[in-house]
Amino acid sequence: MLLTDAIKSRVTSQAVALEKLTKDFEPVAELRVEVGKSTKHHAKGPFFLAEFQLHVPGTELRASVLEEDLYHAISQARDQIRRQLKGYKDKLKEKSQKKERPDKK
């Protein structure tokens, strides 16, 4: 499958949307995106693959989607990774807000 400018543009725009959520992480978060066909011989069905792997300090998040439309697969994978990232950030926030009570040990 040929990686066209339109596909590159779509992936870049989706990555920028995630970048806003990762700006608080130090060291910087790293995103790896893979798009393409999951099979070479099928013409129908969900065979377009979009996979996002996001490495943030402390964890690795991954979303993989198979769809009939590549652009839809990219959007869905971005949505999945965004939900995972928000959940991870909420978990970190809750963890940092827990304070040890001085009278309890």
Query: What CATH code is assigned to 5-96?
Result: 3.30.160.100
Residue range 9-33, pLDDT digits in tens: 999 998 888 888 888 777 788 999 9
Nearest CA among 67, 74, 70 for reference residue 46: 67
The Cα 40–Cα 19 span in angstroms is 32
Which pLDDT score is estimated for 40? 73
Element housing 52 (H / E): strand 48-56
What predicted TM-score, i.e. pTM, was given to this entire model? Answer: 0.79
Mean pLDDT, all residues of the chain? 85
Domain boundaries, the chain: 5-96
User: In angstroms, what CA-CA distances link 61 with 1, 37, 39, 56, 72?
Assistant: 26, 22, 24, 8, 20
Which pLDDT score is estimated for 81? 95
The Cα 51–Cα 76 span in angstroms is 10
Residue 70, burial from CB neighbour count under 10 angstroms (0-12, 13-18, 19+): buried
Structure tokens that stand for 90 in this block: 């909420």
